[in-house]
C-alpha cells in the first residue's frame, strides 16, 4: 500500500517535472558502451571488425540493457593510428564498409531504440588527407590549403642545415619532436601525435568552418552525439615558446626518443581558446537539439576527451553564460591499479569528481578504454565484477569498454607482431606504451576466433584464449551467475529504480577494504540502495546500521534484501545490516528503506515531499529500532 502511494506521488512529480523541462537529457539514464570497431565483429572474414558486423550484433545491446553505443573512428584512414588519422571526415574506410553500411547501422540502431555516438577527431588529420596533400606543396598565396596546418620556418640564428633547425623543444605525445620537415615547402609542420597526423590550424577560420561543416554532416545523418578526441591539443602557444623541463622526469633509457613526460606541457595543451571551441561546438550540436525539424532527435550528447586533473576539466562543462560539453570524460577510476586499490582510494577518486561538479552538471565514470589496460590487468580479475558494480551504480552516466561485461583480459603481443604505433615509436619502452593488449577481438562464443571472424588466417590482433574457458558471451548468457548476468542485472536496476536516476550520493562506511555508498531516490519513501564494495584483500564484516545512524539516517527494522551480489549467489536473500559480511573483491547491493532524521541529506524538502514522508510513515506503521540487537 505504502509503495503504491509513493509510486503514484513519484510518477505525478516526474511527469510534471519532465513537462516543465525543455531538454530531453536521455543520456542521463543510459549506459554508454564503447565499441572499438576493428575488434567487435567481422562480417566479411578479413580478420578485422566492420560496420556490418556491428549491425548484426545490435540486439545484444537490447539484451544486456545498454542504451548507447559509441564507435571509435570509422572514417577513411590509412590506419597509421588505426582510424585516428582521418583521410576524409565524410567517408567510411573500406575496411569498415561503405556509407550505405553506416546508414544501415544507424537506422537499425534507432529502430531498436539505441543511440549512436561517433568519434570526432578535430585536432589533426591524416597526412594523406587531401587538405594536407595540397598544403604541403607550397606556401604560395594561390594554394587555398596553405594555412590549413601549423607550418613554421626553421629557427633563426641556427647554423645547422634548415631541416635540423627545429622551431622549439616541443615533444609529441607518441615520442620525438612535434616538428616534421617538408622539403617542398622548406618548412616544418606540427604534429602533437604521429608525424602521419598533422595538426590542423585553428587560427584559420576556414579550418574551423570545415570542421563545423563536418559536424553538421554527421548530425544531419542523425548521430545522437559525439565524443571529441584529444580536445586539449587543439591550440598551441603562438610565440612557440619552449616548454619547461619536468623536474620529476628521469629517462632510464639513454638515446630513447624524447619522452612526452620529460616536459611540462604549459604551451601545447588546455590553452584558454580550447574552451571557446568547445562552446562553439555546443552551439552547433544545439542547432540539431530540441529542434522541431528534428523530431526524434531531442538532444545531442557532447563528450570531450581530455586527460587532466579533474579541476582542469571543469571549464569544459561550460561557464555561467555558455554551455560546453554535457560532460568531459571522467578518467579518475582508470587510475586505480593493483598498488593503490582500496576503499579509501576509491572514495578519494569518486569524491574528487562529485565535490567539484559545477551546479546542475551531470557526473560520469569511465573504467577503461582503448588506450588503457583492461580492468582484469590493471586491478586484477578478482575485482572486475565489483568494478562493473561501481561503474553502473555510481550517480551519473557510465561508459563501459567492450568486453568488460564479460571480464575480458589483456592479451600479450610480442614486439615483432605489435600493431600500435605508440609502442613501435618507443621501442625501448614499448611494453609501457602498447595499446594492443586491450584491443583484442570481442569474445562471442566458443567457436573459432571466439566467433569474432570466420577468417581461416589470423585476426588483426590475436584473440585471448580464455574465450575457451568461459570468457565469452554465449557461455555467460547461459550461466545466471556469470559476469554478464551480473552486468544485465545491474543495467536493469539502473533503469528500473528511481534511486539510480538521481545524482545523490552518500558515503556510508569507507575503510581500507570497504567503499560503500547509499543511493536514494528524490522522493522519500521509495526504495534506497546500499552498495558495498570490498576493494581490499581481506573479508570485512561491518555494522551499517550504526554507520547510517551517524549520518542521521535510520532504516526500517535494520534489514533489507540483497538485490544483487557480484557473485550472483546472494540475490533475493534477506540481509540484516548490522553485520554485513563482504568477501575481498565482492560487491553487494542491499535494498533498504531509509529515513532521514534531519534535513541534512534530504534531496529536497518541498512541502509536498514532507507530506509524502509523513504519509509513508503513517501508512507503514513503522517501528524504528535505533540499536542493532
Catalytic residue numbers read 119, 229, 305, 370-371
Cα–Cα nearest to 139, from 104, 176, 186:
186
Cα–Cα nearest to 384, from 462, 303, 470:
470
Task: Rule CB under 5 A: say whether 46 interacts with Mg ion.
Answer: yes
> What SS3 class is residue 282?
helix
CB 237 → ligand GLC: shortest distance, Å? 20
- 48 makes contact, choosing from ligand GLC, Mg ion, none, with CB < 5 to 8 Å by partner type, with Mg ion
CB 579 → ligand GLC: shortest distance, Å? 45
H-only helix segments in 531-621? 544-550, 607-620
- 40 makes contact, choosing from Mg ion, ligand GLC, none, with CB < 5 to 8 Å by partner type, with none
CB 453 → Mg ion: shortest distance, Å? 7
SS3 content of the chain, % helix, strand, coil (to 5): 35, 15, 50
Binders of Mg ion among residues 443 to 462 (CB under 5 A) are none
Binders of ligand GLC among residues 402 to 431 (CB under 6 A) are none
CB 603 → Mg ion: shortest distance, Å? 49
Cα–Cα nearest to 131, from 163, 90, 102:
90
CB 305 → ligand GLC: shortest distance, Å? 6
- Position among 75, 84, 202, 595 found at the interface with ligand GLC (CB under 6 A): 84
Binders of ligand GLC among residues 300 to 329 (CB under 6 A) are 305
Q: Strand 594-596 vs strand 553-555: parallel, antiparallel, or unpaired?
A: antiparallel
- Position among 193, 275, 353, 433 found at the interface with ligand GLC (CB under 6 A): 193
- 42 makes contact, choosing from Mg ion, ligand GLC, none, with CB < 5 to 8 Å by partner type, with Mg ion
**CB burial class (10 A; 0-12, 13-18, 19+) of residue 627?**
exposed
Q: Which residues contact 195 (CB under 8 A, 6 or more apart)?
A: 127, 172, 176, 180
Of the pair 41, 366, the CB lying nearest Mg ion is at 41
- Position among 74, 200, 230, 505 found at the interface with ligand GLC (CB under 6 A): 230
C-alpha cell at 538: 581481506
Of the pair 262, 455, the CB lying nearest Mg ion is at 455
- 405 makes contact, choosing from Mg ion, ligand GLC, none, with CB < 5 to 8 Å by partner type, with none
Quick check: 269 and 236 in contact, CB under 8 A?
A: no
C-alpha cell at 541: 564484516
Binding mask 118-157 for ligand GLC (x = CB under 6 A): ---x------------------------------------
Quick check: 117 and 225 in contact, CB under 8 A?
A: yes
Measured CA distances, 540 to 187, 386, 549 (Å): 64, 15, 20
Binding mask 362-401 for ligand GLC (x = CB under 6 A): --------xx------------------------------
Binding mask 482-511 for Mg ion (x = CB under 5 A): ------------------------------
C-alpha cell at 391: 561503474
> What SS3 class is residue 514?
strand
- Find how far residue 625's CA is from the centre of its chain: 42
Of the pair 42, 93, the CB lying nearest Mg ion is at 42
- Find how far residue 42's CA is from the centre of its chain: 24
Q: List residues binding ligand GLC (CB under 6 A).
A: 81, 84, 121, 193, 229-230, 305, 370-371
Q: List residues binding Mg ion (CB under 5 A).
A: 42, 44, 46, 48, 50
Amino acid at each position: 500500500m505504502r509503495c503504491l502511494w509513493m509510486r503514484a506521488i513519484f510518477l505525478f512529480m516526474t511527469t510534471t517535472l519532465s513537462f516543465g523541462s525543455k531538454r530531453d537529457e536521455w543520456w542521463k539514464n543510459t549506459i554508454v558502451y564503447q565499441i572499438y570497431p576493428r575488434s567487435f565483429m567481422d562480417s566479411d572474414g578479413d580478420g578485422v571488425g566492420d560496420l556490418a558486423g556491428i549491425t548484426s550484433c545490435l540486439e545484444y545491446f537490447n539484451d544486456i540493457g545498454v542504451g548507447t553505443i559509441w564507435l571509435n573512428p570509422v572514417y577513411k584512414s590509412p590506419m597509421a593510428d588505426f582510424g585516428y588519422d582521418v583521410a576524409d571526415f565524410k567517408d567510411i574506410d573500406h575496411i569498415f564498409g561503405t556509407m550505405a553500411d553506416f546508414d544501415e547501422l544507424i537506422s537499425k540502431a534507432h529502430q531498436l531504440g539505441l543511440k549512436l555516438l561517433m568519434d570526432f577527431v578535430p585536432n589533426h588529420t591524416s597526412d594523406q588527407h587531401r587538405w594536407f596533400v595540397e598544403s604541403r606543396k607550397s606556401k604560395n598565396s594561390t594554394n587555398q590549403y596553405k594555412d590549413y596546418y601549423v607550418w613554421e620556418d626553421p629557427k633563426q640564428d641556427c647554423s645547422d642545415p634548415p631541416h635540423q633547425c627545429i622551431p622549439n623543444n616541443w615533444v609529441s605525445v607518441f615520442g620525438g619532436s612535434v616538428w616534421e620537415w617538408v622539403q617542398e615547402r622548406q618548412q616544418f609542420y606540427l604534429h602533437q601525435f604521429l608525424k602521419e597526423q598533422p595538426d590542423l590550424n585553428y587560427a584559420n577560420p576556414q579550418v574551423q568552418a570545415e570542421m563545423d561543416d563536418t559536424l553538421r554532416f554527421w548530425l544531419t545523418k542523425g548521430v545522437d552525439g559525439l565524443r571529441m578526441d584529444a580536445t586539449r591539443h587543439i591550440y598551441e602557444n603562438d610565440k612557440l615558446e619552449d616548454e619547461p623541463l619536468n623536474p620529476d622526469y628521469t629517462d632510464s633509457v639513454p638515446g630513447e626518443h624524447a619522452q612526452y613526460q620529460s616536459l611540462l606541457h604549459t604551451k601545447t595543451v588546455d590553452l584558454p581558446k580550447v574552451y571557446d571551441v568547445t562552446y562553439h561546438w555546443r552551439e552547433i550540436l544545439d542547432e540539431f537539439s530540441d529542434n522541431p525539424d528534428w523530431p526524434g532527435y531531442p538532444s545531442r550528447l557532447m563528450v570531450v576527451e581530455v586527460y587532466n586533473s579533474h579541476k582542469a576539466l571543469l571549464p569544459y562543462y561550460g561557464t555561467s553564460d555558455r554551455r560546453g560539453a554535457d560532460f568531459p570524460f571522467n578518467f579518475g577510476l582508470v587510475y586505480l591499479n593493483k598498488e593503490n586499490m582500496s576503499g579509501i582510494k576509491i572514495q578519494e577518486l569518486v569524491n574528487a569528481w562529485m565535490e567539484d561538479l559545477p551546479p546542475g552538471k551531470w557526473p560520469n565514470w569511465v573504467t577503461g578504454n582503448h588506450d588503457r589496460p583492461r580492468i582484469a590487468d590493471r586491478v586484477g580479475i578478482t575485482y572486475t565484477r565489483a568494478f562493473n558494480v561501481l561503474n553502473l551504480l555510481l550517480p551519473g552516466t557510465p561508459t563501459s569498454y567492450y568486453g568488460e561485461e564479460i571480464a575480458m583480459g589483456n592479451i600479450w603481443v610480442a614486439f615483432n607482431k605489435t600493431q600500435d604505433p605508440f609502442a613501435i615509436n618507443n621501442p625501448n619502452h614499448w611494453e609501457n606504451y602498447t595499446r594492443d593488449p586491450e584491443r583484442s577481438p570481442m569474445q562471442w562464443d566458443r567457436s573459432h576466433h571466439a566467433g569474432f571472424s570466420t577468417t581461416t588466417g589470423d585476426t588483426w590482433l590475436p584473440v585471448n584464449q580464455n574465450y575457451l574457458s568461459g570468457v565469452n558471451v554465449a557461455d555467460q548468457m547461459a550461466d545466471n551467475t556469470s559476469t554478464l548476468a551480473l552486468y544485465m542485472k545491474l543495467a536493469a536496476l539502473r533503469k528500473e529504480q528511481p534511486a539510480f536516476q538521481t545524482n545523490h550520493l552518500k558515503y556510508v562506511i569507507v575503510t581500507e577494504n570497504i567503499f560503500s555508498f547509499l543511493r536514494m531516490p528524490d522522493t522519500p519513501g521509495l526504495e534506497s540502495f546500499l552498495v558495498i564494495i570490498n576493494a581490499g584483500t581481506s573479508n570485512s564484516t561491518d555494522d551499517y546500521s550504526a554507520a547510517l545512524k551517524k549520518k542521521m539516517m535510520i532504516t526500517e527494522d535494520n534489514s533489507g534484501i540483497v538485490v544483487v551480489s557480484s557473485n550472483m549467489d546472494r540475490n533475493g536473500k534477506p540481509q540484516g545490516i548490522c553485520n554485513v559480511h563482504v568477501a575481498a573483491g565482492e560487491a553487494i547491493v542491499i535494498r533498504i528503506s531509509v529515513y532521514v532524521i534531519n534535513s541534512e541529506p534530504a534531496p529536497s524538502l518541498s512541502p509536498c515531499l514532507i507530506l509524502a514522508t509523513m504519509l509513508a510513515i503513517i501508512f507503514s506503521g513503522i517501528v524504528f529500532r535505533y540499536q542493532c540487537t
